Amino acid sequence: MKQYVGRAFTHRLFWPVAMLVALLAINVIAVPGFLVITVNAQGHLFGSVIDIVRNGAPTLIIAVGMTLVIATRGIDLSVGSVCAIAGAVACSIILGSPNPDDPVVVGIAVLAAIGLSLLMGLWNGFLVAVLGIQPIIATLILMTAGRGIAMLITEGNILTVESAPFKFLGSGFLLGIPVATIIGAVIITVAALLTRRTALGLLIESVGINPEASRQAGVRARGLLFTVYAFCAVLAAIAGLILTSNQTAADANNTGLFIELDAILAVVLGGTSLNGGRYSLAGTLVGALVIQTLVTTVYTVGIPPIATMVFKAAVVTAVCLLQSETTTAAFARWRRRSVARKPVTEAVVSQ
């Protein structure tokens, strides 16, 4: 038993899951019916938990792409800007068409947004893989210029769209479940299958852990980097479309603002190291849920919602400090010492 407890403690998902459970517990204490899910008149699921999985979807989607980028020792700061660009492209196409309610128009708009984002991702991949620029710097360029490009597309306006099919993306329900949640679930599943059922995950981790050994084993890092940055940008576009659809407006300045930080946070909370290597999409899922639950908790507990940021800071700090080498080493020392003392403690216990 003790052994299992010990193993649970050292499991990489222990702290994030513990944090999620703690947050949920706080909510349940504050609002006893927190976990209750009801079905409303339209047959839609309804409840705080549903809100969490719906509103957390965009962050989760981007965090999935970010996980793979980070696994290669990279980072993508440009996802927020890509969100804004995708939203701007889609809205301007829909607004430009005579019939915004036509699903075909919306389909074209979505595809165009995703296609443009793919190019953005390839651009990031080019800077990182071919020119060899540090990822944080390479993606900073698009992060800065991207908002300008989005404004160029919207011509500086906030584009409000009234399009039923487009609105469906962000706030619709399918079989009672929010569409955004379904998209998020599909994406994380596809990403998991794509990387774990093919050799993509293995090669990404291998490059992230030991680039030189991977090179000598014949792994082509360049192609992998292009793939992960392109993938990340496409996911950012999808998240951007959901956000835009939810707000029924493309706002070049504010769509996806700071979402890169939330996404990176979700990845780090999920136990994937910013130094690259082994990644965990399950961890990222937990991380994204922790972030969204945190936001919800602030509401339910009655703390002014504006304090969310302070709590995010506390969570980031706590998890980073718990995961840091220094703490791990201190824990290990402490454990060794307690092992050394073990005979005594056991004697006490057996009495």
Partner 1 sequence: MSAALAPASAFTRARHKVVDVFTSPKSGPVLVTAVLFVLIFLAGSLRYRGFFSGQVLLNLLIDNSYLIVLAIGMSFVILTGGIDLSVGAVVALSTIIAARLLQAGWNPVAVIAVILVATSTLGLLVGLMIHIFKVQPFIATLAAMFLARGLCYIIAKESISIDHPFFVAMANLRIPLGFGLSVSPSVVVALVALAIGAWVLQYTRFGRTTYAIGGGEQSGMLMGLPTSRTKVLVYVISGFCSGLAGVLYAFYTLSGYALTAVGTELDAIAAVVIGGTLLSGGYGFVVGSALGVLVLGLIQTIITFEGTLSSWWTKIFIGALLLVFIILQKVLTSRRT
Partner 2 sequence: MPDSVKAPVPTQAPVVEMTDISISFPGVKALDGVDFRMFPGEVHSLMGENGAGKSTLIKALTGVYSVDSGLIRLGGEHVTFSEPAQAQAAGISTVYQEVNLLGNLTVAENVLLGREPRRFGGIDWRAMRRRAAEILEGLSLDVDPNSLLNSHSLAVQQLVAIARAIDIKAKVLILDEPTSSLDLEEVAELFRVIRSLKESGVAILFVSHFLDQVYEISDRLTVLRNGQLVGEYLTPELLRIDLVQAMIGKELATLDDLENKVHSGERDVAPTDGVAPFLVASGITRKGAIAPVDLVIGAGEVVGLAGLLGSGRTEVARLIGGVDRTDGGQLEVQGATIKLRTPRQAIKHRIAYSSENRRAEGIVDELSVRDNVILALQADRGWFRPIPRKRQDELAASYIEALNIKTPSADTPVRNLSGGNQQKVLLARWLAIAPRLLILDEPTRGIDVGAKAEIQKLVYSLAENGMSVLFISAELEEVLRLSNRIVVLRDRQKVADLLNDGLDVDDLLALIAEGVTEPEPVTGAAS
CB of 312 to partner 1, least distance (A): 4
Token representation of residue 208: 């992230």
Tell me which of 25, 104, 136, 213 binds partner 2, using CB under 8 A.
213
Report the length, in residues, of the chain: 351
Rule CB under 8 A: is residue 216 a binding residue for partner 2?
Answer: yes
Closest-CA residue to 70 (of 172, 223, 209, 242): 209
Q: Which range of residues in 56-64, 111-119, 208-216, 327-335 is near partner 2 by CB under 8 A?
A: 208-216
Among residues 210 and 308, whose Cβ is nearest to partner 1?
308
Selection from partner 1, partner 2, none that 133 binds (CB < 5 to 8 A by kind) is partner 1
Token representation of residue 3: 């052994």
CB of 68 to partner 2, least distance (A): 12
- Taking CA atoms, 188 is separated from 63, 73, 178, 239, 309, in Å, by 10, 20, 16, 13, 26
Site for partner 2 in 218-257 (CB under 8 A): 218-220, 224
What binding mask, one character per residue, do residues 270-289 give for partner 2 by CB under 8 A, x or -? -------xx-----------
> What DSSP assignment string belongs to 14-67?
HHHHHHHHHHHHHHHHHSTTTT--EE-TTS-EESHHHHHHHHTHHHHHHHHHHH
Token representation of residue 58: 């965009």
- Taking CA atoms, 57 is separated from 138, 222, 254, in Å, by 26, 30, 18
Among left, alpha and beta (phi > 0; psi -120 to 50; other), residue 132 is: left
Token representation of residue 321: 């400090």
Among residues 56 and 100, whose Cβ is nearest to partner 1?
56
Q: Which range of residues in 146-154, 204-212, 256-264, 287-295 is near partner 2 by CB under 8 A?
A: 204-212
Q: CA 169, CA 189: separation in Å to the nearest integer?
A: 18
> What DSSP assignment string belongs to 130-173?
IS---HHHHHHHHHHHHHHHHHHHHTTS-EE---HHHHHHHH-E
Among residues 212 and 343, whose Cβ is nearest to partner 2?
212
Tell me which of 30, 186, 199, 274 binds partner 2, using CB under 8 A.
199
Q: How many residues bind partner 2 (CB under 8 A)?
A: 22
Task: Provide the 3-class DSSP secondary structure of residue 200.
Answer: helix
Rule CB under 8 A: is residue 197 a binding residue for partner 2?
Answer: yes
Task: Give the DSSP H or E segment for 232.
Answer: helix 221-247
Selection from partner 2, partner 1, none that 193 binds (CB < 5 to 8 A by kind) is none
Selection from partner 2, partner 1, none that 131 binds (CB < 5 to 8 A by kind) is partner 1
CB of 330 to partner 2, least distance (A): 19
Among residues 187 and 263, whose Cβ is nearest to partner 1?
263
What binding mask, one character per residue, do residues 149-188 give for partner 2 by CB under 8 A, x or -? ----------------------------------------
Selection from partner 2, partner 1, none that 262 binds (CB < 5 to 8 A by kind) is none
CB of 57 to partner 2, least distance (A): 27
- Residues at the site binding partner 2, with contacts judged by CB under 8 A: 197-200, 202-203, 205-206, 209-210, 212-220, 224, 277-278
